[in-house]
Structure 1
Amino acid sequence: MANQYDRNPFAEEEEVNPFANNNTGSVPAASNSRLSPLPPEPVGFDYGRTVDIPLDSDRSASQNLKKKEKELQAKEADLRRREQYVAFATYLGLVLCLFWNIIAITTAWIKGEGVTIWLLALIYFIAGVPGGYVLWYRPLYRAFRTDSALSFGWFFMFYMLHIAFCVFAAVAPPVVFKGKSLAGILPAVDVLSGNTLVGIFYFIGFGLFCLESVVSIWVIQQVYMYFRGSGKQNELRREAARGALRAAV
């Protein structure tokens, strides 16, 4: 008969912590196991904090700004120089057109067209070459050197007359002596039927006047864009208003 104190084989064994300290008498128990709270910190948004900006960054920024300013000035100077060179090329083109016009009219005079058209061609050359230099090329040169609004206005006024003359000469309508005093397209077609050589000379003059007109239109467009971008347009208006007021007074 089994003993009533026998061990139950299905009973769970008591778990023993091997790391537990059974010698409670040697180590005193802690009175309070909780940590002490941290002291409160003041709330701030760092409005009073100073930020040190190095002076080297300011110097480098100013140096970069000056460098860019110098680059813009160099580009502006190159633009002025290019426009001035092309304008001088149109002046030389005008000289070439008027000189070739004399040659073409001389051939027509030799073939029996009369001396009057040759005299007119000579007058065009004598009046046009110094007139173009004094009336529009020199004011443009002075305007680029001094940035004078009046010089720009003077150039625009007479350079438009120059373009109008070149376009008129390229067409050469029969207004003055049937238009044969200018080597344009209309007299070229007219004289080609009578003399082929004279017609070829007139056609060459027509091509030169057309080329001069196209380049001159490009020049006045570029100069006007520079004039408008530099702010000289408002200055010219103010000077014109002052001149009108003085004339009225």
Structure 2
Amino acid sequence: MSGFDNNPFVSTVDVNPFQDASVTQATSGLNEHLGEYNPFSAAEMGNNSDTTIPITASSSQPAVLQTSVEQTAHPSVAAAQANLIKQQEELERKAAELERKEQELQNRSTRGNTGAKENNWPPLPSFSPVRPCFYQDFEEEIPEEYRRICKRMYYLWMFHSATLFLNVLACLAYFTADSQYGVDFGLSILWFILFTPVSFICWYRPVYKAFRSDSSFSFFFFFFVFFFQVAVYIIQTVGIPKWGNSGWITSISMINTNLAVAVVMMVVAGFFTVNTVLATILLKMVHSKYRRTGASFTKAQQEFSQGVLTNRTFQSAAASAASSAAQGALSRN
């Protein structure tokens, strides 16, 4: 039983690890030095006062860092300023454009008491006794999606007029080469005087009005007239003799007689050919635009009937006809 009375947690040898000779020597020396050192003594304060770092010196280092940051941020600031200047110039340009448009609208509103737009075509000088007959402005009246095709039709009309003028010169040369072709020269003058304004009124203005107001009636009127214009272009390109056209037949017939006149007439025949090709292409393009607008023959009939019934000339003519018929019936009775 004596074995069970022993405590296993009690060491049989009483050993103090801090009683080691080396540990005792180290701790005794440390205590001596610690006892001698007083950090708050006047001597120690005097010794450390000359090594204290002033706050201004310690804060000098961040100033160098701030300078480097400013140097790296300078290009970005310059780019931002340039961008702001560019945006300011763009805004000033738009403001000037809006002011110009507003001034134009004010000028138009002050033209007359009725507010009707002043005609600006043909562009005649102010001293001319003849005044413009039509108003034309692609940017204001024609929608953007139809503006390009409408301008092309206008350029076609101008090219058509120039071709007719050159046809007069070619027929004049044709007449000087042989006096029996005076009929062609006379007819060429007639075609130039007649077809230049008629083409403007009969097929260019209708297509302009059609794109301006999406008018089905104007579209149908244009297609009807311009189809015959294409047929006339083909006849002029062929150049039937005695018809007043410097086409391919008449120009080729002059090769053996006068080569210079034949070359001039061939140039005009080429112009007529270009007119035919451009007219055919533009006719197809206008037709494709027409199909997208939703126009129809029924709408054209409605627009025609409404236009006729609301026309003052037609109303006055109908009223005068009705009154004359009534007076004739009363006189018979």
Deviation at 1:241, TM superposition (A): 11
- AA in 2 matched with 1:173: I
Cα distance change of structure 1 residues 207 and 122 upon mapping to structure 2, 3 Å threshold: same
SS in 2 for 1:97: helix
Q: Which runs of 5+ in 2 are unaligned?
A: 1-141, 307-333
Task: Write the mapping of 1:1-249 to structure 2, written as runs, cut at 5 A.
Answer: 77-114=143-180, 115-174=182-241, 177=242, 179=243, 181-236=244-299, 239=302
Deviation at 1:144, TM superposition (A): 1.0
- AA in 1 matched with 2:277: V
Q: Tell which structure's C-alpha radius of gyration is larger.
A: 2
Counterpart contact for 1:153–1:236, Cα < 8 Å = no
| More helix as a share of residues | 2
Deviation at 1:237, TM superposition (A): 6.1
Counterpart contact for 1:108–1:198, Cα < 8 Å = yes
Q: State the superposition RMSD in angstroms.
A: 2.2
Counterpart Cα distance in 2 of 1:182 and 1:86: 25
Deviation at 1:242, TM superposition (A): 7.3
> How many equivalent pairs are there?
165
1:56 paired residue number: none
Counterpart Cα distance in 1 of 2:183 and 2:249: 18
Counterpart Cα distance in 2 of 1:92 and 1:154: 20
Counterpart contact for 2:143–2:211, Cα < 8 Å = no
Residues 39-61 of structure 1 show CA distances to partners (whole Å, capped at 9, x for unaligned) of xxxxxxxxxxxxxxxxxxxxxxx
Counterpart contact for 1:188–1:200, Cα < 8 Å = yes
Counterpart Cα distance in 2 of 1:138 and 1:240: 17
Identity of aligned residues (%): 22
Deviation at 1:190, TM superposition (A): 0.5
Deviation at 1:236, TM superposition (A): 4.1
Counterpart Cα distance in 2 of 1:159 and 1:241: 19
SS in 2 for 1:140: helix
State the TM-score, normalized to the length of structure 2.
0.47
